[in-house]
Structure 1
């Protein structure tokens, strides 16, 4: 019996050590970038001393400032669009079940698993066709292109999350509202939307974070003058990775972590358990 316990303890220790090694392998590069963002040198490969000057580049250098603003603006608009369309789709799937739901879920799954490079290659000629061949000027605008490209995947994510939220809610609340002579529109605004609101907010924040680091689609559909931050970083690697790039990347990482923390907080304040939060954020 004692040998079995000793063997079990040894196994637990080995698993703990392995877990530490795996997490270190995954997160040490991020830690290195964060530390490098305080480097006063010209390139990250050479540490010259501690300095906050790289963070000032966010304000002082127009190219970096414009790239960050493009990413933030695109992320907010794409998140709003994805939240609107994804919420309507999620509510429809949860409250109007039928065979069509499984076909629609299959379509959303196809959007979710399609490689970004395929989406990017498909979007570029389509937007060129709409903007130049058909003369629809809005599709020549860089922000419009980025918003459309970023919101495709996010709409599917919001749809999953809202559907998962409402499937676990009692539909009799909406039926009671109808029994009290409320119109469908009033029932939607007073009952259905408040029930789905935690998932809507979670989907909005997740859509925003997904847009911030969208590189492949952005690199294909962007036009001159609307270069988002990830594409700017990619192009800057040709001349060497500079500390200001690491500094702004650190700021963007903090924004992402804050958004994810807000997602968990919104769902927790809505009364969800940790399991429910993980299920809702995963769209399960």
Structure 2
């Protein structure tokens, strides 16, 4: 007669605790998704199930403009952060232990991550004014350019550390063998380094994109009239009253983030990585 193997009490308690943590994390999101189908005038007062919030949100030119601004800033900052983060990550991975410039770059990037965003916002605002007004660099008078530069500054450090972690175990003999066969520096980077770093580049670009979409404090300091991103619009709407359109568009943005996450995970899996390797790569 077969006997059922029972889990120890500690394992069952840990499983229950894990379930409670997931409920705690995702219940607010589920509430927002549920209230996005509220046909009422106020978000907190669910009066009737329907899709009016989605229709009204997509018909609102102001809301559409803020979402479009957020997407533009997210794509732009992801491109900038990924380019410079890839260069920095590869350089740090190749640097010898204890090299002064590598230590200094790591400290600067770490300080960028740990500096409060409100400090960054206070620093960026007069700096952009100096560049755009005093020095006559007109691109810095554009609100979208300000958003891209400021968001990329923060996410660049994330991309750098992710790619450095990805490149840490790279076998340098591969490039040395390619050099012996006559490959120049660009060919070695294109055919060897870039394919190895590709999973980290995908993960870093995704992180940059999502960090930009979620940035509120820094955006509120550097944005200009006509370039208000979606998080700043929500923050301003809280002062009056949240309408169901906010929940509807937020749900669409959440779905967009999930789609981007799925595309990135698919791309990482096609490079031959296991689920554990994918998680490690995206966590840096």
CA distance in 1, matches of 2:51, 2:61: 18
The residue aligned with 2:107 is 106
The residue aligned with 1:231 is 232
CA distance in 2, matches of 1:219, 1:261: 30
Report the Cα offset of residue 58 of structure 1. 4.0
Question: Is 1:278–2:279 an aligned residue pair?
Answer: yes
Number of aligned residue pairs: 278
Question: 5 Å matches for 1:91-130?
Answer: 91-98=90-97, 99=99, 100-130=101-131
The residue aligned with 1:151 is 152
Question: 5 Å matches for 1:39-188?
Answer: 39-98=38-97, 99=99, 100-188=101-189
Q: Deviations over 1:117-151 (max 9, x none)?
A: 11111111111111112221111100010001110
Gaps spanning 5+ residues in structure 1: where? Answer: none
Q: Under a length normalisation based on structure 1, what TM-score does the superposition of the two structures give? A: 0.92
Conserved? CA contact 1:206–1:260, under 8 Å: no
Report the Cα offset of residue 237 of structure 1. 1.2
CA distance in 1, matches of 2:85, 2:56: 37
CA distance in 2, matches of 1:62, 1:54: 14
After TM superposition, where is structure 1 displaced by more than 4 Å over at least 4 residues in a row?
none
CA distance in 1, matches of 2:57, 2:79: 25
CA distance in 2, matches of 1:122, 1:23: 37
The residue aligned with 2:204 is 203
Report the Cα offset of residue 256 of structure 1. 1.3
Conserved? CA contact 1:206–1:263, under 8 Å: no
CA distance in 2, matches of 1:261, 1:68: 21
CA distance in 2, matches of 1:10, 1:261: 35
Conserved? CA contact 1:127–1:145, under 8 Å: yes
The residue aligned with 2:214 is 213
Residues 183 and 9 (structure 1), Cα distance of their counterparts in 2 relative to 1, 3 Å cut:
closer
CA distance in 1, matches of 2:125, 2:201: 29
Tell me which moved more, 240-249 or 185-194: 185-194
Q: Deviations over 1:81-112 (max 9, x none)?
A: 00100001111111233413222212111111
Conserved? CA contact 1:117–1:216, under 8 Å: yes
CA distance in 2, matches of 1:207, 1:107: 18
Q: Under a length normalisation based on structure 2, what TM-score does the superposition of the two structures give? A: 0.92
CA distance in 1, matches of 2:183, 2:23: 56
Q: Deviations over 1:202-229 (max 9, x none)?
A: 2111111111110000000000000000
Gaps spanning 5+ residues in structure 2: where? Answer: none
Report the Cα offset of residue 254 of structure 1. 1.0
